A and B are shown apart, each in its own frame.
Chain A
Amino acid sequence: MSDTLLVEPSAVSPTKRVLGELLRSREIAVGGVFVLVVALTTLKSPSFLFSSDGWRDLLLTPSLLLILAVGQTAVIITRNVDLSVGSTLGLTAYFTGKVFSDNPGIPVVAVFALGLLFGAVLGLVNGLLVSIFKVPALVITLGTLYIYRGIFLTWAGSDRINAGDMPQDFLALGTKTILTIPVLTIIGLVVLAAVGYYLYTARGGRELYAIGSDPDAAVLYGLQVNRRIIGAFVLCGALAGLAGVVYAARYGTVSSNAGLGMELQAVGAAVIGGVAIFGGSGTVWGAAIGAFLLVTINRALPVVGISDFWQRAVVGALIIAAVVLDRFFSTRQERRLVAAREEMRKAAR
């Protein structure tokens, strides 16, 4: 038995190592791009950041996509995708308005809880279908996208929820700020912290990563794959429900196209933030930064002078660039690891 180690322990001090890892991470890179975009736009038009509404809107508008992206990340990590979150958001937003107009005295916290529960039930349907019947989530959530949107539109009929149907203190949440940070953003950040902590430290969260990186190995290892996948979909649905309540608070009116197309934006935000579409890696912090970047670019384009009709093209180009970059770095990493292994073999001979 040789007494030389195969791999030398790192000669760099722990603080330097952690700092270096942090600085080279995807999340910081996307965060840097976000800061750059805000800086360039503010240079062009200082009121983008420095007016009374500018700072508030910078933090407030992405809060919806933030909540959706966090939920979507949990599902993408397990190698699935949830395309029904937009319809869940719309359905829950309408449900919120209905609850308020039918029960005028109901406390706001109760409505938030009801929205979470409603979304969780919708997510449970997805999770059960995906895990029990082993059908790809893409197809199931495509079907439930149609079904939930249809239920929403049939239930709503031709009426909309207007601001008059909801109590003032609920609508005030849409613009209220605590220490200049909007309340809805604080809700989003609390959700981000809670889900991020769970995914990083809790056993259930770590198992989601395991299931995503190799589902067969997870089964052989004895993980409760079905239960975890159902849990991930319930979480995603619950967060989409929460986003529906936030939507009602922010915009006051809920029309039939609430949430249309937001599922692809949520997936895009996660992909830009470094969540691998094939599962197994990525963090909710990255998805959150991706959501902020996406929404801020959308808002910054008209200020910079690009007609905001081009915003979808910019979003699409960003997603493609993010995926190509991911692929480039992972291939380079693989080649480096193979080269290092060859070197070690040569040195050992």
Chain B
Amino acid sequence: MSTATLDRPDRAARTYPAYSKPLWRRALLTREFAVIATVVAVIFYSNANVPNFDGPLTMYYLFLDIAPILLIALPMTMIIITGEIDLSVASVMGLSSALIGVLHADAGLSIPVAAAVAIAVGALCGAFNGFLVAYVGLPSLAVTIGTLALYRGIAVGLLGTKAITDFPDTWTDLAKDRIFGDGTSYPMILIPFVVLLAIFVWLLHFSSFGRGVYEIGLNDEAAHFSGVDVERTKLLLFVLAGAVSAFAGLYFTLRFGSARGDNANGLELQVIAAVLLGGVSIFGGRGALHGVIAGVVLIGVISSAMRLEGQTVNVINIVIGALLVFSVIATTLLGWAQSFLARRRAPAPRPGATP
């Protein structure tokens, strides 16, 4: 019986590449920081060069406009990190808007009660999505394309071409009031947003549920075997998306004071574009909420600044589309650059290392 002797590698040859970089490099050389830096740069540039950008109204209307996208981007981030997608969020917004209108105008319910019903219905819509994706095992792209049409169809079917516009002033004003009084730039909607942001940051980054979300995105079979309840996690995420979309629909209805079946048509693409711009990988398993918030703000600031410069919505859309394409290509380009640099830096193989 012969035992082959193993050569112990020298201590000096051992390296731990992932943690050999100092903290500042690990924190700053990330995609999220790149997006945050871009937002800051664009804001500084616009303050200096775009007329009226530093006026009191700009930030206020910016927040009012991007509020629904900010809200829905929170659960959408978690869904995309698990590798799924939810295209039906804007239709749930429209459905909740139509429901609130119908319940308030025809059934005479007060706004808080109608809102509670709408959010419950939104959660139910999300549960339907989540059940089909997680428990029946259908691909989320196909399911949410179907429910996008289904929920939008129900919303339009409920209202037809009617638009319900008589909402009590107290509520429509609340949607547009500013936090610190007139003249400041922070609308009231930021309060529920900050609360939801705190909840989602805790959920995704500081809880075991959030670790499970990342693991499902990286490899859902491995996650299952390491104890994550994959189906329940996905179901919960879709329910959260439905409930938050319904709340965003409530805000949308009250801000514009009008409930229509086709409210927020096409918003899901803006949410997904913002989330992907914020550094979340479409393949799943990678991403962080601070990058996503920066992504939403970036799209809002660019739209605002270009609008103030007199550009049309169409040019703005071209820019956002190009940004989206560039941001996903950048991941691949970065990968090529890294592997190129790694190959150049690799030491020559030691003589005698291989028999």
Q: Considering only CB atoms, which chain B residue lies closest to A264 in the complex?
A: B145
Is A312 within 8 A of B153, CB to CB? yes
* Residues in A32-55 with C-beta less than 8 Å from chain B: none
Q: Does A317 contact B (CB under 8 A)?
A: yes
| A interface size (C-beta, 8 A) | 43
Q: Does A198 contact B (CB under 8 A)?
A: no
Docked CA distance A210–B32 (Å): 37
| Partner-binding segment picked from B33-41, B56-64, B154-162, B165-173 | B154-162
Q: Does A315 contact B (CB under 8 A)?
A: yes
**B151 contacts which chain A residues (CB < 8 A)?**
316
**A278 contacts which chain B residues (CB < 8 A)?**
139
Is B153 within 8 A of A316, CB to CB? yes
**A314 contacts which chain B residues (CB < 8 A)?**
153
| Partner-binding segment picked from A111-119, A145-153, A167-175 | A145-153
Cβ proximity bits A125-153 to B, threshold 8 Å, 1 near / 0 not: 00001000111101110111111011111
Docked CA distance A319–B159 (Å): 23
Docked CA distance A150–B321 (Å): 9
Within 8 Å by CB of A315, from B141, B149, B314, lies: B149
Q: Does A197 contact B (CB under 8 A)?
A: no
Closest Cβ–Cβ distance, residue A276 to chain B (whole Å)? 9
Q: Does A268 contact B (CB under 8 A)?
A: yes
Is A316 within 8 A of B318, CB to CB? no
Q: Does A179 contact B (CB under 8 A)?
A: no
Closest Cβ–Cβ distance, residue A113 to chain B (whole Å)? 27
Describe B's contact surface by its main secondary structure: helix
Closest Cβ–Cβ distance, residue B68 to chain A (whole Å)? 18
Q: Does B152 contact A (CB under 8 A)?
A: yes
Is A81 within 8 A of B141, CB to CB? yes
Is A143 within 8 A of B325, CB to CB? yes
- Given A136-B282, A312-B149, A320 and B324 contact (CB-CB distance below 8 Å): no
Is B282 within 8 A of A139, CB to CB? yes
**A227 contacts which chain B residues (CB < 8 A)?**
none
Within 8 Å by CB of A147, from B150, B154, B325, B328, lies: B325
Closest Cβ–Cβ distance, residue A336 to chain B (whole Å)? 18
Contact residues of A with B, CB < 8 Å? Answer: 81, 129, 133-136, 138-140, 142-147, 149-154, 264, 267-268, 271, 277-278, 307, 309-320, 323-324, 327
Ranked nearest first, the 3 interchain pairs of A and B with the lowest CB-CB distance are A313-B153, A316-B150, A146-B321
